Structure 1
Amino acid sequence: MDNLDRFSINNIRKEFMDFFKSKEHLTEQSFSLIPKNDKSLLLIGAGMAPMKRYFTGAEIPPSNRMATCQKCVRTGDIDNVGITARHLTFFEMLGNFSFGDYFKDEAISWAWEFLTKTLKIEEDKLWVTVYEEDTDAEKIWHEKVGVPLERIVRLGKDDNFWELEVGPSGPCSEIYYDTGEGKGCGLPDCKPGCDCNRYIEIWNLVFTQFDKDEKGVYHPLPNPNIDTGMGLERVATVLQGKPSVFDVEPLLSIIKKIEEITNLSYGKDKNKDTAMKIICDHSRAATFMIGDGVIPSNEGRGYVLRRLIRRAIRKGKFLGIHREFLTETVQVVINEWEKAYPELSEKESYILKVINLEEEKFKITIDQGLELLQKEIQKIKEADKHVLDGSIAFKLYDTYGFPYELTEEILNENDFELDKEEFLAIMEEHRKMAREARNKTGSSGWKNKDFNIDAAKTIFTGYTEVSDEAEVLKIIVNGVENNTIEEGQSGFIILNKTPFYAESGGQVGDTGKLAADEFEADVISTNKYNKDIYIHEAKIMKGSISVGDNIIASIDVDKRKNIAKNHTSTHLLHKVLKQILGEHVNQAGSYVSEERLRFDYTHFETIDEATIKEIERRVNKAIFADYKVFTDLLDIEDAKKSGATALFDEKYDGVVRVVSIDTFSKELCGGTHINETGKIGLFKIISEGSIASGVRRIEAITGKAALNYLNYLNDLVDGLSETMKTTREELLSKVNNLKKELKDKDKEIHKLNNEILKNNINEILDDYEEINGLKLFAIKTKDKDANSLREMADKIKDKNENCIIILASDLGNKVLFVSSVTKDLVKKGIHAGNIIKTAATVAGGGGGGRPDFAQAGGKNPEKINEAFEVVKNQIKEIN
């Protein structure tokens, strides 16, 4: 096996997993990119991140020794992707982990064995670093492994102490590969830690000893753990001697596909190479994110995905690609990685569909958005300004779908800046307005299309028919009326009649198929134009069709049934809300799809859990009653007289459709419904909360979705019961007992701390400095919380008058201050809040408080002594 094969991504991954399997590790498939039960993370960005609860002891791992190749996404360095040799948004992280089993000795020895014996890397090519205070690791490297001391480098906390914002942390030891003198700075003392590119980190061994909480406090773990991480693409690049990760297969295969699409050659132009690399990286990241269940949106991880996709599209435009192309690069990703990650092939059609729809959606507006931005850049250039107004960035975001980061990136490329503060302020205001008006616009989005339609009114037959023969009245492709639409094209088709329900009233539009002899098209959405012209957004899969042709229009029946179940459920829910909360409840918006329903309603008080359960119970009671559902067409006044509920801000025509659920509910509604409530099966509320002043929202699921959700909850209870080693029936009791035990232990710890303080109080009471006749207690402690400092201050005040107390607790990466002043000094105008503010400011923080007591924090524990000195000088001036 030559070096290229031995150091290939696929071989390194396999060799790593096989090696640690031989060391009795449980080797697992990668966890999902979507964190499970961890709100502190948006996406998984490290090999150990999915196993945080194993490290903290919150969950029992399936084995005390594990090894994984973990999918990771990080966007913090997105601006460097394609520019540097090794930055990626998506990467694979090799890691071996010990949960209270082995520690530094084995971790170091096995890492060296894997690199030098399995991968056969020359020993003199490897250097190591250790945390400057970690003499144990240095000893193991030198005395057991045999690394010469001159190739072991001690570095500080910034380099060799690993931590997340919250969770496991500890000192680490990194292994570096020496790429040779020719890649270095030429200085005689060049070694790892130098800013040159000679030494490349390939493996990080973290000796996890602490659990860092949200306040930044490090809590010792009961058993030390091992967490290692080796970037697969990076190590392959270094060992193959390639200039960047994009020159290593199979990433290079994606680059080759981009060359094929653009008819350009990689390696000829720096700027074009950067664009190719960004498309390569973002295609891979998007593929894996969608495969794990992320969908493009304007919030959270969905926004990350949308940003990556749209950034790749923009780079495609830069390379001269003026058609949809991402499905082609994504297909390469699926083909190249499906063996290691079979979920990609299993979800291939879904991944490609999501990519295609997002690309089609953005394609419609990207050119207009880019043109607008270039005009605005020209304007600020001519005005000799350097900052683009946030309002322009918001227009690009809102109208043209540009993530503001994309606008900012284009501005930076032209040496301009964005007024981000103004943009974010406008965004927040827009969100407030959107929450108040959401789902009240019906089909208004179609009023702003770039084309005008002059066509006869569409006859809707979907209340009674699921398939119907119809005539093609108009075809629109790329905003222009055409006589014919061909295979492979997408466009809008208008029929003289249709069974497809058009999106309106909160109900999504139908999807399905249009067909004729030698012709087939997929309808991906149905919308209305000017209220009564139905527009079928279609992709032509086979053949062609022309104006005047007859076709068969058939909806997706299963999807329609699920939508109908959810829509009928909103009517039941509306009635139940009025029954329980009062007649003031009115619908303020809704969304009905095949997967779920969302119902916004007017109500000005919080709904407690018992009421939510009662709402759910009554809706299900109506479902189980198997009420008949029927419709009538009535004059609007007659409909109102019959007791039908109408939306107070909705405009209705003279004749309206009334949907009645037996005698239980009667509403004006143009949506589709089931004919018997029993067919809904089951109704389950999954969330309830406030979305705006006086407006609340319920989200719920029905039918199969509800059953699947209950099965998930059932599995969750079984898993918890197994973890807690108890029965389902005894689970709650066991959890409550555990909570009580923890509370009792907290009390015991508190009691012991008080005993320690009591035993040390005499020593503390002697630790003061007299300044102009008053006592100053300036005492530095380690790892004490606010309650402990308060109690210490109280003990001192109990034994002293005429004293000022300033206490500091060094918490590792920050400091906590407490100040207290006796009553006699408070009367003289000495203020604890002013004292604490002075101390905290010196330590890089801030705060304040009452005259007799105050608390504050700082970022720099090393400045505690300096803070004390400044406080002393302040007191001298006061007194």
Structure 2
Amino acid sequence: MFTDDDDAFGLWRKVAGLGDDRILRLGEKDNFWAMGDTGPCGPCSEVHFHQGDHIACAEVAAGRACLGPACECDRWLEVWNLVFMQFNRDAGGTLAPLPRPSIDTGMGLERVTAVVQGKASSFDTDLLAPLLDRIAALARKRYGAGAEDDVSMRVVADHARAATFLIADGVVPSNEWRGYVLRRIMRRAMRHGRMLGLTEPFFWRTVDWVTELMRGAYPELAPERQRVQDAVRTEEERFAETLDIGTQKIADWLAAHAGAGERVVDGRFLFTLYDTYGFPMDLAEEVFQDAGWRVTDATRAAAEAEMEAQRERARAGAAFGAGDDTEAAAVYARLSAEVPPVEFVGYGTLTAPARILAIVDAAGGGARRVGEAEAGAEVEMILDRTPAYAESGGQVGDTGTLTGRAGRGQVLDTYYRGSKLVVHRVRVAQGGFHEGEDVAVSVESPRRQGLRQHHTGTHLLHAALRRVLGPHVTQAGSLVAPDHLRFDFSHGAAVRDREVDAIESLVNEQVQADTAVVRMEMDRDEALKMGAMALFGEKYGDRVRVIRIGEFSVELCGGTHLERTGEIGLLKVSTEGAVASGVRRIEAVAGPAALESVARKEAALREAAELLKIGPLEVPKRLQKLLEEQRALEKQLAELAAGQARARAEALVASARQIDGVAVVAGRVDGLDPDGLRAVADTLRDRLGSGVVCVGSVLDGKVSLVVAVTKDLTGRFHAGKLVQEVAKAVGGGGGGRPDLAQAGGKDPERLDAALELVYTLVTRAGGRA
């Protein structure tokens, strides 16, 4: 506990019955928590468990005594922490009492389990040991036999559990926020699987093991098992493809940097390979080294610097909004602790009187509390009450006007900072505002009506999706804007056109029925018992708001809605497609936006009909005929090109030279892209039976090269190394496997000389052999 925290000392003695010898007073470094140099803070108490003196300790090894709970060794395991959040520290270091102190407490379930079961590590408990046994059996390894393998098995076990729960809860692999974390977790586990020798997809199997192990405490896992398995398997198979993509990206990079004097890899590119394409850095290093490039300590430092910058952006985005720095986060944290929760009155009115509680200058991504704002300023205002809806639950924030005694401003947006602080971004149009001033807030009515139409439309769309596609459909993300909606949902297959039509028809049937949209407030458990859907990503209190639309839809929702479904007028689906593994996205428009969409499509259809000089309803049939004619012509063209390539290949076979008993063909087939060139190289290799092939092509001013070596000669000639040398002659670079490799270049004029170089390279390599 903190050295000056006499209250905690007394409570630990009285309530826990601990003797003085078991209560340690430590300084600010160990037992005073703060979120930064400024902001909320307070003393903390930590509960430590002594695991035994048999565990190694660096202090003891150095001839000194173990420092007990303050030591860095593993003899003492922290299992519980209680932070007494009672002060606010200003820039001068002064501590002032918080108006509403609180206790932040957390106990580590796995650490407590290890203590109760008498295990030295969480991985030895019955929470994780069964997973490790399964993974070891699959990899034909023994857990505990080797440190490196043990680490890989622990990574796979831990990440398997995390991935299973995340996907079951609705998170999907992506490159943003939660999905980005999930993808990184999964790919890290898959890479460690490869390090264990698991070259075929394996991670999807762990879903069954996790489900079996945890289903007693988490029965909701079992119904999601197949969906989770499908999502993991798809991501795993895509990761295998990522290896191919990453290799190609490296080849492109090598070609672009062929003229570099110092052949050292750029660490920023190494990071991009890992961050954007999921290509493991250690594997990238091997590919670069095979191509004759060096990965230095400076390369790794640059890549790590980019990685750390990414982490900082993620940490900032998770606190009080993306882009906020630590100082800004502290400002909003203080305001959250100081000002009372805003009273939202916007369900029943679009105008309301309010009082300005705080004004923040958030220019440049920072945050500074100011007492007033003059004309021309753009600031964030915190009010005591508001009719403006703050962005949440997928619905964008309201806009409107703010009017004071001497000022008028435009409310540009309304959103949360943190989980509780509602702010209004205001541009002061005239006069000015100051803290404590009484103002009038007015929400832009037509825009709010568009939001209501699209939010109620989203509920109808969600219910229709579940009816047409099945009850497995759950929300994976949404956007409700005044002029359109976007809805992401879990579904493992493509949605057919007739299914989209059925979904749209179901929604519009409800619109035509003009069903009442009923709002209710009730206990959360009661709402769930009546079948209300609780959506992933939303946090609900004990009392919840329920939106019921007849017998068609019941959802927990805090958004703004219509009085009756008929006010939607019309809903039209705009697009539907895949956005990630196991996740589809449907976009739609409602009300006036839907009518405008229909009008635009009809105008486009009329224009197409006029161009074809036919009636609008004949357009599909005419287009089908034109496409068939085009495909026939493309087929004829492809056959001609293939015939020419075969003829050229035959001519090249006839020109083969014998070098030390090896048949070598080097020639050019201009006008072919890399795929066509590979096909020619494969044909030549097959015709030779045994030999070395190098073909080049110029297309759109760029050189492509392909080298192929028959299997019986790969011990003497390496296609990847040969193509690197040939590519240098045309100002390019590349690489590849011993039997097949490709490269690019920028100097077509030197292609003939480069191809002639092949014979010299084969002679030289044959001589070394």
TM-score (norm 2): 0.50
Contact 1:439 1:589 in 2 (8 A): no
Q: How many residues get paired?
A: 464
Q: 1:465 aligns with which of 331, 343, 349?
A: 349
Inter-partner Cα distance in structure 2 for 1:861 and 1:485 = 64
**Residue 875 in 1 paired to residue 767 in 2?**
no
CA deviation string 1:325-372 (max 9, x = no partner): xxxxxxxxxxxxxxxxxxxxxxxxxxxxxxxxxxxxxxxxxxxxxxxx
What is the match of residue 541 of structure 1?
Answer: 429
Distance of 1:436 and 1:485 partners within structure 2: 28
What is the DSSP-based 3-state SS (H/G/I as helix, E as strand, rest coil) of the residue aligned with 2:335?
A: coil
1:452 to 322, 335, 347: 335
Taking structure 1 as reference, are residues 687 and 518 closer, same or farther at Cα in structure 2, changes over 3 Å only?
same
1:599 shift after superposition? 2.8
d(CA) in 2 for partners of 1:447 and 1:581? 46
Partners of 1:818 and 1:855 within 8 A in 2? yes
Partner residue, 1:353? none
Cα offsets for 1:735-771 (capped at 9, x unmatched): 3333333333333334445666788888656534343
Deviation at 1:668, TM superposition (A): 1.5
2:362 is equivalent to residue 474 of structure 1: no
Q: What is residue 9 of structure 1 aligned with on the other side? A: none
Cα 1:431/1:729, change in 2 over 3 Å: farther
CA shift for structure 1 position 555: 1.6
Distance in 2 between the 1:434 and 1:741 partners? 56
Which string of whole-angstrom CA distances, capped at 9 and with x for unpartnered residues, describes residues 211-241 of structure 1? xxxxxxxxxxxxxxxxxxxxxxxxxxxxxxx
Q: Deviations over 1:173-210 (max 9, x none)?
A: xxxxxxxxxxxxxxxxxxxxxxxxxxxxxxxxxxxxxx
The Cα shift of 1:790 comes to: 6.7
Whether contact under 8 Å (1:460, 1:501) holds in the other structure is yes
Following the alignment from structure 1 to structure 2, what is the Cα–Cα distance between the partners of residues 595 and 795?
56
The alignment partner of 2:402 has SS state of: strand
Deviation sequence 1:357-408 (CA, Å, 0-9, x none)? xxxxxxxxxxxxxxxxxxxxxxxxxxxxxxxx99xx99xxxxxxxxxxxxxx
Q: 1:802 to 1:481 in 2, by over 3 A?
A: closer
CA pair 557-857 structure 1, distance change in 2 beyond 3 A: same
Contact in 1 for aligned 2:727/2:745 (Cα 8 Å):
yes
Contact 2:546 2:555 in 1 (8 A): yes
Between 1 and 2, higher relative CO (CA 8 Å, sep ≥ 6) is seen in 2
Are residue 811 (structure 1) and residue 695 (structure 2) matched? no
1:646: Cα distance to partner? 1.7
Q: How many Å apart are 1:587 and its aligned residue?
A: 2.9
Contact 1:493–1:535 at 8 Å: present in 2 too? yes
1:328-367 aligned at under 5 Å gives the runs none
Query: Tell me, which stretches of 5 or more residues in structure 2 are unaligned?
Result: 1-174, 177-266, 273-298, 362-367
Unaligned runs of 5+ in 1: 1-297, 300-388, 395-416
The CA distance in 2 between the partners of 1:637 and 1:457, in whole Å, is: 24
Residue equivalent to 2:458: 570
Displacement after TM superposition at 1:827 (Å)? 9.9
Q: Higher mean Cα deviation, 667-676 or 729-738?
A: 729-738
Residue in structure 1 matching 2:634, options 740, 746, 758:
746
Shift of 1:560: 0.8
2:445 aligned with 1:557: yes
The share of aligned pairs that are identical, in percent, is 34
Quick one: structure 1 residues 670 and 800, their matched pair in 2 at CA, closer, same or farther if it must change by over 3 Å?
closer
State the Cα distance separating 1:432 from its structure 2 match: 9.3
Task: Tell me which amino acid in the other structure corresponds to 1:870.
Answer: L
Mark the CA change 1:612 to 1:819 in structure 2 (over 3 Å): closer, same or farther: same
Distance 1:687 1:423 in 2: 40
Question: What value does the CA root-mean-square deviation take over the aligned residues?
Answer: 4.9
TM superposition shift of 1:473: 5.3
Aligned 8 A contact 1:840 1:847 in 2: no
Q: 1:773 to 1:611 in 2, by over 3 A?
A: same
Q: Structure 1: how far apart are the matches of 2:695 and 2:648?
A: 15
- Deviations along 1:679-719, one digit per CA (max 9) or x if unpaired, are 11232334445555555443332222233233333333334
Within the alignment, does 1:864 sit opposite 2:742 as a pair? no
* 1:569 CA displacement: 1.7
* Contact 2:646–2:680 under 8 Å retained in 1: no
Q: Return the letter of the residue paired with 1:472.
A: R
Name the CA shift for 1:635/1:624 in 2 (closer, same or farther; >3 Å): same
Q: Which residue of 1 aligns with 2:510?
A: 622
The 5 Å alignment of 1:203-602 reads: 421-422=303-304, 425=307, 449=332, 452=335, 454-468=338-352, 470-472=353-355, 474-476=357-359, 478=361, 479-480=368-369, 482=371, 487-493=375-381, 495-515=383-403, 519-527=407-415, 535-543=423-431, 551-602=439-490
Alpha-carbon offset, residue 675 of structure 1: 0.9
Counting only pairs closer than 5 Å after superposition, residues 196-207 of structure 1 correspond to structure 2 as none
Residues 55-110 of structure 1: per-residue CA shift (max 9 Å, x gap): xxxxxxxxxxxxxxxxxxxxxxxxxxxxxxxxxxxxxxxxxxxxxxxxxxxxxxxx
Structure 2 distance, partners of 1:762, 1:642, is: 76
Distance 1:640 1:875 in 2: 75
Instruction: Give the match's secondary structure for 2:754.
Output: helix
AA aligned to 2:635 is K
Aligned to 1:114: none
1:729 alignment partner, SS class:
helix
Query: In 2 relative to 1, CA 878–477 (structure 1 residues): closer, same or farther, beyond 3 Å?
Result: closer
Give a deviation string over 1:487-526, Cα, whole Å, max 9, x none: 5555455555432223333322222223466653332233
In 2 relative to 1, CA 641–505 (structure 1 residues): closer, same or farther, beyond 3 Å? same
* SS of residue paired to 1:554: strand
8 Å CA contact 2:476–2:536 kept in 1: the answer is no
* C-alpha distance in 1 between matches for 2:465 and 2:659: 69
Maintained 8 Å contact 1:847/1:857: no
Match for 1:680: what amino acid?
A: I
Q: Secondary structure at the match of 2:563?
A: coil
**2-side partners of 1:492 and 1:588: how far apart?**
30
> Residues 693, 840 of structure 1: CA spacing in aligned structure 2 closer, same or farther, 3 A cutoff?
same
User: Which residue is equivalent to 1:305?
Assistant: none
8 Å CA contact retained: 1:446, 1:528: no
> Separation in 1 of the partners of 2:515 and 2:453?
13
Kept after mapping to 1: 8 A contact 2:690/2:713: no
Give, in whole Å, the separation in 2 of the partners of 1:771 and 1:699: 64
CA distance in 2, matches of 1:438, 1:546: 24
Contact 2:645/2:669 (CA < 8 Å) preserved in 1? Answer: no
SS of 2:548's equivalent? strand
CA distance in 1: counterparts of 2:630 and 2:637, whole angstroms? 10
The structural deviation recorded for 1:661 is 0.9
Matched with 2:623 is: 735
Q: Distance in 2 between matches of 1:547 and 1:556?
A: 24
| 3-state SS of paired residue (1:643) | coil
- The Cα of 1:665 is off from its aligned counterpart by 0.9
CA distance in 1, matches of 2:724, 2:451: 59
Shift, 1:462, TM fit: 1.7
Amino acid corresponding to residue 619 of structure 2 in structure 1: L
CA distance, structure 2, for counterparts of residue 833 and residue 511 of structure 1: 60
**Alignment correspondent of 2:595:** 707
Alignment counterpart, residue 667 of structure 1, candidates 552, 555, 578: 555
1:475–1:491 CA contact under 8 A, matched in 2: no
Task: List aligned pairs for 1:623-702, cutoff 5 A.
Answer: 623-647=511-535, 650-691=538-579, 695-702=583-590
Cα distance, 1:624–1:429 mapped onto 2, change above 3 Å:
farther
CA–CA separation in structure 1 for the residues paired with 2:580 and 2:321: 14
| 8 A contact 2:450–2:483 mirrored in 1 | yes
801 and 535 in structure 1: CA distance in 2 versus 1, 3 angstrom threshold: closer
Task: Measure, in 1, the Cα distance between the counterparts of 2:661 and 2:422.
Answer: 89
> Which letter does structure 2 place at the counterpart of 1:580?
V
